[in-house]
């Protein structure tokens, strides 16, 4: 899922500025709810925090809240049409995709991000997530026994560790597991160490961002666009 973190509330206040009278905070009920950053609970708490702030600073601001299932589908954004129109500023607590999707539907509105979108990750325990994939466009997990050297090796090395790994930790930060140690351990466990000896040529980065923003078209739904 997409893991995100709420922006600091003082930053949100600065971002909102003084030039508005009404605000709609929109939560997203999927990824960022699970990562405890932008679900209904966070939307309601943030609304209360801002109300407290404005009330204690003698400012009269109307704040409304709503949480939709996903902000990355127009069908859900359209459910908010009237609410969005009625408010001066929209603060989206979705990932950056959600923010931009609201913008796409409401060109005349100021839409602000309430979260810092962080990465694609997995929950390790409550309140703790870790990056596992960067969406490189051509998955190589089969060659590395299920541990991604692109997302989890700080240097994205494909042919073994650098010289800096120590006691299982990455030299960039001892809190990061060395991906290559993990890969090695898995290889030993599966008795496939010799598979790692083959030289792995550089990855095809064209399918990643390096080829510009990507669009994916499922031919099944687009007969007319068949090559």
Partner 1 sequence: MLDIIYIGDQIKSPKLNTLCIKPEALIEFEGEIGNFKLQVKDDDKKLKDLKTKYIVINIDAVRENNLEDTLNLDLDLDQLDPNQDIIIIQDYEQISPAVINKEALNKAIEIKNKLSEKEVYFLYRSMRFIDDNDSLFEEARQKGIIFLQYEMGNLEFIDKDKVKYERDGLTSELQGQILTTPLLKPDQRLKRIIRLLNIESNGNEYIQSTNIYLQPSLTGKRGVYSLAGARGPNAYSEYEFEKEFTLNEIKSNLDNFEPLTENKRVVDDKKCILCYTCYRVCPHGAVQEDKENDAMKINELACYGCDGCISHCPASAISIQEKTEQKASNNLLKVLMCENSADTAYKKIDKGSFKDLDIEKIPCASSIKKEDIFKFLRKKDSRLLILGCFEDSCKHITGDGRGNRITNEIRDTLKKLDLNHNRVIFERLSPRMEEDLNGFLLKWKEGESS
- Residues 112 to 151 in contact with ligand SF4, rule: CB under 6 A: 133-136, 139-141, 148, 150-151
Q: Considering only 33-41, 75-83, 145-153, 211-219, which stretch makes contact with partner 1 by CB under 8 A?
A: 33-41
The pair of structure tokens assigned to 217 is 């078209």
Which C-beta is closer to ligand SF4: that of 61 or that of 144?
A: 144
Q: Considering only 69-77, 156-164, 188-196, 218-226, which stretch makes contact with ligand SF4 by CB under 6 A?
A: 69-77
H/E stretch holding 53 reads helix 40-56
Q: Does 165 bind ligand SF4 (CB under 6 A)?
A: no
Site string for ligand SF4, 22-41 (x = CB under 6 A): ------x-xxx---------
Q: Does 43 bind ligand SF4 (CB under 6 A)?
A: no
Q: How many residues bind ligand SF4 (CB under 6 A)?
A: 22
Which C-beta is closer to ligand SF4: that of 118 or that of 169?
A: 118
* Residue that is written with structure tokens 């051509």 in the block: 138
Residue 180: count of CB within 10 angstroms of its CB? 23
DSSP for 130-178, please give it.
EEEE---SS--GGGGTT--HHHHSTT--SSS--TT-BTTEETTEEEEEP
Q: What CA–CA distance (Å, rounded) separates 99 from 106?
A: 11
- Residues 40 to 69 in contact with partner 1, rule: CB under 8 A: 40-42, 44-45, 47-49, 51-53, 55-56, 67
Q: Does 95 bind ligand SF4 (CB under 6 A)?
A: yes
Instruction: Name the β-bridge partners of 130.
Output: 122
Q: What CA–CA distance (Å, rounded) separates 54 from 121?
A: 35
DSSP state of 191: T
| Whole-number Cα distances in Å, 163 to 139, 155, 178 | 25, 11, 11
Residue ranges that bind ligand SF4, judged by CB under 6 A: 2, 28, 30-32, 70-72, 94-95, 97-98, 133-136, 139-141, 148, 150-151
Residue ranges that bind partner 1, judged by CB under 8 A: 8-10, 13, 29-30, 33-34, 36, 39-42, 44-45, 47-49, 51-53, 55-56, 67, 123, 125-126
């Amino acid at each position: 899922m997409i893991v995100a973190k709420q922006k600091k509330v003082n930053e949100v206040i600065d971002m909102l500025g003084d030039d508005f009278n009404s605000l709609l905070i929109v939560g997203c009920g999927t990824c960022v709810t699970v990562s405890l950053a932008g679900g209904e609970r966070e939307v309601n708490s943030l609304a209360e925090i801002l109300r407290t702030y404005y009330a204690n600073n003698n400012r009269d601001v109307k704040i409304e809240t709503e949480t939709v299932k996903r902000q990355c589908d127009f069908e859900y954004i359209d459910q908010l049409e009237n609410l969005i129109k009625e408010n001066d500023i929209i603060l989206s607590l979705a990932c950056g995709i959600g923010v931009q999707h609201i913008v796409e539907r409401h060109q005349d509105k100021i839409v602000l991000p309430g979260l810092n979108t962080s990465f694609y990750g997995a929950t390790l325990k409550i309140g703790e997530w870790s990056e596992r994939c960067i969406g490189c466009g051509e998955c190589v997990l089969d060659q590395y026994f299920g541990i991604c050297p692109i997302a989890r090796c700080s240097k994205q090395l494909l042919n073994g560790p650098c010289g800096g790994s120590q006691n299982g930790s990455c030299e960039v930060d001892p809190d990061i597991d060395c991906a290559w140690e993990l890969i090695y351990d898995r290889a030993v466990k599966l008795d496939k160490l010799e598979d790692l000896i083959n030289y792995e040529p550089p990855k095809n980065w064209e399918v990643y961002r390096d080829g510009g923003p990507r669009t994916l078209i499922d031919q099944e739904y687009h007969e007319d666009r068949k090559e």
